A and B are shown apart, each in its own frame.
Chain A
Amino acid sequence: MNLHEYQGKVLFAEYNLPVSKGKVIFSADEVIDACNEIGGSKWVVKAQVHAGGRGKSGGVELISSPEDGIKFAEKWIGKNLVTYQTDSKGQPVNSILVEECTNIAKELYLSAVIDRESQKIVFIGSSEGGVNIEDVAKNMPEKIIYQGVVFGDDSLSDDASNIAQVLKLNDSQTKQFIPMIDNLLRLFVEKDLSLLEINPLVITENGDLLCLDAKVNIDSNALFRQPELEEMYDESQEDPQEAEAARNDLSYVSLDGNIGCMVNGAGLAMGTMDTIKFYGGNPANFLDVGGTATQERVAKAFKIILEDPDVKVVLVNIFGGIVRCDLIAEGIIAAIKEVEVKIPVVVRLEGNSADKGSKILSKADIKIESINDLANAAKKAVDFAK
């Protein structure tokens, strides 16, 4: 689960990390109060969306009067912001972060992730900030440090000093930086983060460190123990079909092809997409309907798949493990009737009682292509999609 910058900065402040004075607003009416509260004569207004690249797309502006802030808010609130990280529709802007203006001397990069290889939390730091870190990794790998850390370990301040060196911090900045790493790690562990990125971390003209941006992802599996973070979930930033699927406990990712897929098991769902591609078709989605594939779940899955107007055929691929395919077949038939599916449906059943299942499908009073061989089922779906 992703947080907005303003939500991330609330967490940062809670952990004594240096952030700009700011206020989030949800309508243009609030701009004047926000500017007055922050004080000063210049402010930065930042559209809040779950995507990077906002600055280059007009989603961040420096303003010298609250009136300019009102114009910015009126321009963006309720609209979609398209950046190089979003799709062509962009992400809806529902809120704007108004912040005091910072005079920047230098931009740095700092992030933390759970590294799968070393099985540790790893901080990534670079003296090159405000740019795409993947480009730095590719073109100037010597300017990046990957520092594995262990929560509660005595060596943490040494680890932090190592990072500070690569960031080329002076002594007084390093003194600020060492407790910062400690606080970031505490935040990471206590709030169950999966990613934390500050790009840029800046050195101000006064020589102090400041977290100018905050990207925070939370491990969805840990939300049960982070109720206050779960409340920060902003469904408007998700693909509507994916959000609907998530509400129904289905795993769905929309793609740009025209063959709808309904599969039990995440691996097999990916494998099915690949098989469609192998035979010249294009999958419209990834969908894991889960191990049980009951009528209710299958019906929900059909509804979600059919919301995509591009879908011309649905390929259902179920490997019956513990659950019998004859029961699944009955569920599929009932679900097709319930949802009134009008496009062709190809069903491949394999595993437990697969033969019985296909007999039930072929005798059904609605048209279903029942093909137990996955290759042939995929080819058939590709034909229908042409």
Chain B
Amino acid sequence: MSILVNKDTRLIVQGFTGSQGTLHSEQSIDYGTNIVGGVTPGKGGTEHLGQPVFNSVKEAVDKLDPNASIIFVPAKFCKESIIESAEAGVKLIVCITEGIPTLDMLEVKKRIDDLGVRLIGPNCPGVITPGEAKLGIMPGNIHKPGSIGIISRSGTLTYEAVKQTTDLGFGQSSCVGIGGDPIPGSSFIDMLKLFEDDDQTEAIVLVGEIGGTAEEAAAEYIKNNVTKPVISYIAGQTAPAGKRMGHAGAIIAGGKGTAKDKIKKLEECGVHIADNLVSIGSKVAEVLDR
């Protein structure tokens, strides 16, 4: 088992023929992901990377019966692309794009919730189930099938956690980047639920960062609902208040969202804290007593 994606995932790519769409689709296909086709308005009827291209998600859904979509279109078109995909009946949408206006995401979030669609991202590296399917821009080769579930708001920090758990021999069940935006499609809690129910996952690594209160909410949820050990690293302990640290969501505003508060809350709720970026893997080993 794993969460969200596996070898049965039938993926379509929105923004298939663009430079990012092409590069990452090639890498995903090499990894073994089953990309069944793609969508680029105006290019319907052509072929790309050996797969059919459609003008709309609706056509692609009718012809290909996909169960997931990944989006590489520019930020200004993402609202339409996500909603188009959700309305066409795709149940899992992964949006990689960074820079979507927040008000667009408020609208998107409401729509996908109404339709019962799972959105991962935006502004994220995507989702991978090692050895089965890679829906995203993460380097496949650092992953290894295994027992750790990883959830993160940051791309490269996820890679650090992956590398460390691979090097120590644990491997990963699935890894999900929920993204660095203030209004993400899925929350830590959404992913914690899935990992808690997943047999393959023995422990969960939660990589958070400053800004908002998603980690605090996750901590409360873990205390009441998660039986598996959770190990957490929170980035931004040295970040100043009031400054956006790269990610749109990474800002300490009105005294809220500091790393210190998040770590305190997580600790209170029984989460194991890796106090240094380099010790995520060793903390997992310590908690699992291996």
Q: Which residues of B219-268 are within 8 A (CB) of A?
A: 233, 235-240, 243-250, 254-255, 259
A116 engages B213 (CB within 8 Å): yes
- On chain B, which size bracket covers the interface? 35 or more
Is A384 among interface residues, defined by CB-CB distance under 8 A?
A: no
B180 within 8 A of A: yes
Q: Give min CB distance, A149 to chain B, whole Å.
A: 11
Contact A268 B156 (CB under 8 A): yes
Whether the Cβ atoms of B236 and A270 lie closer than 8 Å is yes
Q: Is the CB of A222 within 8 A of B101?
A: yes
A255 pairs with B238, CB closer than 8 A = yes
CA gap between A192 and B163 in the complex, in Å: 39
Q: How far is the CA of A269 from the CA of B244 in the complex (A)?
A: 12
Say whether B169 faces chain A, with CB atoms less than 8 Å apart. Answer: no
In the complex where A222-B103, A251-B246 touch, is A117 in contact with B213 (Cβ < 8 A)? Answer: yes
Q: Are B239 and A286 in contact (CB under 8 A)?
A: yes
Interface residues on A, range: 35 or more
Binds B, one of A35-43, A205-213, A274-282: A274-282
Among B109, B110, B245, residue most surrounded by chain A Cβ atoms (within 10 Å): B245
Q: Which residues of A contact B245 (CB under 8 A)?
A: 251, 253, 266, 269-270, 286
Encoded as 1 (CB less than 8 Å from any B CB) or 0, chain A from 185 to 221 comes to 0000100101000000000000000000000000101
Q: A375 near B: Cβ within 8 Å?
A: yes
Selected from A192, A275, A352, the residue in CB contact (under 8 A) with B276 is A275
User: Looking across the interface, which residue of chain A has its beta carbon closest to that of B248?
Assistant: A221
Is B139 in contact with chain A by the CB < 8 A criterion? yes
A286 to B239, CA, bound (A): 8
Complex Cα spacing A288 to B27, Å: 24
| A119 close to chain B: CB less than 8 A | yes
Decide: A273 near B101, CB < 8 A? Known: A253-B243, A321-B159, A350-B163.
no
A373 cross-chain contacts in B, Cβ below 8 A: 278
- On chain B, the residues within 8 Å of A117 by CB distance are 212-213, 217
> 1/0 per position for B142-160, CB-CB distance to A under 8 A?
1000000000111111111
Mark A residues whose CB is within 8 Å of B: 114, 116-117, 119-121, 134, 189, 192, 194, 219, 221-222, 224-225, 251, 253, 255, 263-278, 283, 286, 288, 291, 319-322, 350-352, 373-375
Q: List 6 A-B contacts (CB under 8 A).
A: A267-B152, A267-B246, A270-B209, A286-B239, A321-B137, A351-B142
Interface residues of B (CB under 8 A from A): 23-24, 27, 75-76, 99-104, 106, 109-110, 137-139, 141-142, 152-160, 163, 180, 182-183, 207, 209-210, 212-214, 217, 233, 235-240, 243-250, 254-255, 259, 275-278
